[in-house]
């Protein structure tokens, strides 16, 4: 029977290689490796590589992940994923949990508790991020990307657009995207 491993990272600047190394260092011979670059907010069923893994893995095989949150976005999603895998007699190994059998009653209880804690940690992180952004905004800091046009250019763009110049022509003239020009002439 084959051993499948799955990793997930949130951004393209990150790599799931560390998760694979961690799984192999724990003594697992990985036959098939799947990894998604997708937000942790996305449910397991919506992750392309996880869906591909589920299509390829056969009943009775093994799935190894480094951390519990790789199996879903919240406690409910993790629970549903583990239930689906248990129904297919797929052994799930979460390195973070040691030798815990997730299909056993004690494993289910531990899984639910840990998934709930992980969900709470994510919620607190979002809360702290929002508080930090609000504080920065109240201190007058400009958030987001720097503008690609100067205030003078934006005034010129508005004037030229009002005079009938097209969005595309303005985008070419100022070497920016059409969306950028639209953001200047029709701010939300």
> What kind and span of H or E run contains 34?
strand 32-37
Tell me the C-alpha distance between 36 and 47, whole Å.
Answer: 7
Q: Active site includes 10?
A: yes
> 10, 45, 166, 168: which is the annotated catalytic residue?
10
Residues in the chain: 188
Burial of 143 from C-beta contacts in 10 A (0-12 / 13-18 / 19+): exposed
Calculate the dihedral angle through the C-alpha atoms of 170, 173, 177, 179, rounding to the nearest 10 degrees. -10
CB-based burial, 13-48: b 16+ in 10 Å, e otherwise: eeebeebbebbeeeebebeebbbbbbeeebebeebe
3-state secondary structure of 118: helix
**Residues annotated as catalytic (active site), given as ranges:** 10
């Amino acid at each position: 029977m084959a051993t499948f491993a799955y990793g997930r990272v949130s951004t393209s600047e990150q790599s799931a290689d560390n998760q694979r190394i961690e799984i192999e260092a724990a003594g697992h011979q990985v036959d098939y490796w799947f990894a998604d670059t997708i937000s942790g907010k996305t449910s397991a069923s919506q992750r392309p590589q996880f869906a591909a893994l589920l299509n390829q893995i056969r009943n009775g095989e093994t799935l190894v992940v480094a951390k519990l949150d790789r199996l879903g976005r919240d406690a409910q999603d993790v629970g549903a994923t583990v239930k689906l895998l248990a129904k297919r007699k797929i052994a799930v190994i979460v390195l973070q949990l040691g030798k815990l059998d997730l299909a056993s009653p004690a494993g289910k209880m531990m899984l639910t508790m840990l998934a709930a804690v992980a969900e709470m940690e994510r919620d607190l992180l979002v809360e702290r991020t929002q508080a930090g952004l609000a504080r920065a905004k109240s201190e007058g800091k400009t958030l987001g990307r720097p503008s690609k046009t100067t205030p003078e250019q934006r005034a010129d763009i508005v004037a030229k657009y009002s005079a009938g110049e097209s969005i595309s022509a303005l985008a070419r003239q100022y070497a920016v995207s059409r969306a950028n020009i639209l953001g200047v002439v029709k701010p939300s």
